[in-house]
Amino acid sequence: MQIPPARRSAALLLGLALASCSSHDTEFDPEKQLELYMTTATYLYQDGSLLRAQDQAVKALELDPENRPMRRMIGWIRLRMGGTEDLLIAERFFEDLYADGDKDAPVLLGLATAEERLGVVHDEAARAIASGERFTESPDPEKRAAELSEDARGYFDEAYKHYEQVLSGSTQANKALNGLQRVSALRGNYDQSLDWGRQLLEVCRAESEGWRRALETQELSETEEAVATESIRAVTDLEVETRLFSTSILHRLGRSGEALEHLGLAIECAPERADLYSRRAQLESEVGRYAEAVEDLDRFLRFSELDFEHPDVRKAYELRSFCEGRMAESALRTETEG
């Protein structure tokens, strides 16, 4: 007889000895106990106490193996834990939920995220074996690297499909677009990744404008105002990270001018974020804009809270000296020619 997906998932966690013993009190009320486990698991999860939250979720599944919220929670707990074994467990939970017909955004996003990260694990292993940096017991390392690379592509393809399914729904568009831009880049489709990034920036702009209008035109309670303010901050952070991601791709493609435009707009969003000036200075130095690079390096050093001996600070001073040297050479050449 085939075991239902829900019971396979519950058995997986129980097999890892993560569940506690159930109560056998004479006054035991399964419904009230289930509600208590679920409420406690949710609170602990939100508080970041992942293992304790998982323990409560597994107890809930002992009482109700079909319980979708707790199965989802265990999947997301394992994603947040992030080890390779955790990712495999998360994938199993989300796959079983999907097989049970649960295709809501949290499940699709969880499954896509697990597949994306497992793809990265396999891709990194393939590259390490191919370069000789990682030992393999396989008698044919080259063949093993090719197998892992193929597995990675399979994971990326599945992740892309599930992120697209999220996008076809009515919620979580920003997370789906973010995933699609990442996975497209991992698949080597850089122009496609940039296009998803552009769409994500449009969503960020619309969300930010909506929250700002609410702050300006509506009478909000203190709590509502705090939610709106935090939402604007989160959207702004996402816009900055999206622009940084696009900058990396554009730099890879040799499109430095467009990359600098993205960095400029990112700095407009977060003018006190030191690393943005450092990134822009590196690009400016590569295209010969040495004076602008020096100015940005000075801004980086002014805003940075890193110690003087930190590698990023040392690199900033080295790049500054390089740019000043090139500026001096250019001035001397101009003077000689004149």
3-state SS string over 20-66? CCCCCCCCCCHHHHHHHHHHHHHHHHHHCCHHHHHHHHHHHHHHCCC
Tokens of 121: 């694990």
Q: Is 303:279 a contact under the CB 8 Å cutoff? A: no
Confidence band of 333 (pLDDT split at 50, 70, 90): confident
| CB-CB contact of 293 with 315 (8 Å) | no
Q: Is residue 135 part of a domain?
A: no
Question: Which of these three, 246, 271, 296, is where a domain ends?
Answer: 271
Q: Are residues 217 and 254 in the same domain?
A: yes
Does residue 46 sit within a domain? Answer: no
Average pLDDT (86-92) is 97
Q: Determine, yes or no, domain membership for 251.
A: yes
Residues 210 and 257 in one domain: yes
Q: What pLDDT digit, counting tens, does each position of 149-192 carry?
A: 999 999 999 999 999 999 998 889 999 999 999 999 999 999 99
Q: 242 and 299 share a domain?
A: no
Residues 267 and 294 reside in one and the same domain: no
pTM: 0.88
**Contacts by 24-32 with C-beta closer than 8 Å and gap 24+?**
30/63
CA distances in angstroms from 250 to 34, 38, 197, 242, listed in the order given: 51, 46, 12, 12
Whether 265 and 333 map to the same domain: the answer is no
Q: pLDDT tens digits for 222-255?
A: 899 999 999 999 999 999 999 999 999 999 999 9
Same domain flag for 205 and 255: yes
Residues 196, 251, single domain; the answer is yes
pLDDT of residue 5: 63
Q: Which of 237, 271, 305 marks a domain boundary?
A: 271
Q: Are 212 and 261 contained in the same domain?
A: yes
| Structure confidence by residue, pLDDT tens digits, 4-54 | 665 566 566 655 544 444 444 456 688 999 999 999 999 999 999 999 999
Do both 301 and 257 map to the same domain? no
Helix, strand or coil for residue 104? coil
What pLDDT digit, counting tens, does each position of 249-303 carry? 999 999 999 999 999 999 999 999 999 999 999 999 999 999 999 999 999 999 9
Task: Look up the domain containing 201 and give its range.
Answer: 191-271
Distance CA 39, CA 249 (A): 43
Q: Is residue 154 part of a domain?
A: no
315, 261: one domain: no
244 found inside a domain = yes
Report if residue 175 sits inside a domain: no
47 within a domain of the structure (yes/no): no
Would residue 103 be called left, alpha or beta, if left means φ above 0 and alpha means ψ between -120 and 50 degrees?
alpha
Domain boundary among 240, 271, 302: 271
Domain count within the chain: 2
- Kindly state whether residue 169 falls inside one of the protein's structural domains: no
54 is written with which tokens? 């998982």
pLDDT in tens, 92-136: 999 999 999 999 999 999 999 999 999 999 999 999 999 999 999
